[in-house]
Structure 1
Amino acid sequence: MSERKPAGMSYESWVEQRIGEAADRGDFDGLPGTGRPLPQGEADEDWWVRGYLRREDVSTDLSLPAPLLLRRQADDIDHTVGRLLDEAAVRRVVGELNQRVEESWRRPAGHGPVARRVDAEAVVARWRENRAEPSPEPAAARPTPWWRRVGRRVRSRP
């Protein structure tokens, strides 16, 4: 449990005293990053947030306001559905996005741009067009199973 600040001491001087005591005890020795310089050239005060997101491999889309996130998802819909295998899944993803867009319309206005619905038929048409049908590969010569090889040797004996 931490101690209480003495009545006659200012908060800043009490905090500085506590930090000095912790440094004297060695509480700050061996911390990760000790001795490394701070990144240079970062004029923005949020440089550490960007570094954290980069290190943790977190998408910066999560920090966007909802309408901008919906716009980005609508812009990237072709890439999102490009990995899907059937038309029903494409329609389901587009439907879920459109449902989130409609829900954003019901929220109070004045908090950024409004996203538009995505045309499901156009997305499906582009998905069909961009979908590469696998080329039929010639049947490779399959090795003969061991039981057939054994059977041939037995039959071919005199």
Structure 2
Amino acid sequence: MAQRGAGDGDGAPWGRAGERPGAPRAEDQLADQGVRRRPPPGDTARAVSGWVDQQIQQAQRQGAFDDLPGAGRRLPDVDVRTDPDWWVRSLVEREKLDLSAALPGVLQLRREKATFPESLLGLPDETAVRARLEDFNERVLADRRRPHVGPHPPPVVGRVDVEAVVGRWRELVAQQASTAPTAPTVPSASTTSSYPVPEPPDDLSRARRRWWRRARR
């Protein structure tokens, strides 16, 4: 009885699935043509990591990391991923922007109220101070009249007592006037010398002197 071959009938096929028996492998053909197969991702990562570590160690031995600016300091923006508005904050800090005008109306009024009466010292007189304070109270009432939506009551700011703020403004003005340096006094000619200063002769006396000199000659 003849024995069956490896590829006869229902026996096991030759080679691996998808390969033609007796044909060279694709890897061997690519190697003969000088084409290298791409290494697995794990091998590539390890190779890159090893090369980076070698470069860092070589730079350390050469002193490339010695006396760098900012050594020992905290890295800026190292935790920006935890702040969703990190780019807005960095823009404000970099450009030194003033966002006071972007605050809600109530917060702006509170900040303005906190500056009284020091912020009123640049006004010329008491009438201008009263006008500024009355305008502030009007803006406070206008902010309260705005419609509000929400389950909680809106934040409000209290009006200022015009007479009380004007009184404090007077005190600050008086303090500035008392502490202001006085101009140095210039001594007069009578105090610097005990002898009287002769006045220059007028034209008539000069003419008489010239006539007297001619007459004597």
Residue 168 (structure 2) aligned to one of 126, 130, 135:
126
Deviation at 1:79, TM superposition (A): 2.7
Q: One-letter code of the match for 1:40?
A: V
**Greater relative contact order, per chain length (Cα 8 Å cut-off, separation 6+):** 1
The normalised TM-score by structure 2 is: 0.42
Deviation at 1:86, TM superposition (A): 1.5
Deviation at 1:56, TM superposition (A): 3.8
Q: Computing the radius of gyration over CA atoms, which structure comes out larger, 1 or 2?
A: 2
The normalised TM-score by structure 1 is: 0.55
Q: Please list every run of 5 or more consecutive structure 1 residues that lacks an aligned counterpart in the other structure.
A: 1-36, 143-154
C-alpha distance in structure 2 between counterparts of 1:88 and 1:58, whole Å? 34
Is 2:69 aligned against 1:69?
no
Aligned length: 111
Contact 1:61/1:69 (<8 A) preserved: yes
Identity %: 37
C-alpha distance in structure 1 between counterparts of 2:112 and 2:129, whole Å? 14
Q: Please list every run of 5 or more consecutive structure 2 residues that lacks an aligned counterpart in the other structure.
A: 1-74, 188-199, 202-217
C-alpha distance in structure 2 between counterparts of 1:58 and 1:92, whole Å? 30
Q: CA RMSD in A?
A: 3.2
Contact 2:118/2:169 (<8 A) preserved: no
1:17-76 Cα offsets, whole Å, 9 max, x none, are: xxxxxxxxxxxxxxxxxxxx9733444222332333344443332232111211221122
For residues 138 and 89 of structure 1, do their structure 2 counterparts lie closer, same or farther at Cα, with a shift above 3 Å needed? same
Residue 95 (structure 1) aligned to one of 134, 139, 146:
134
Q: One-letter code of the match for 2:172?
A: N
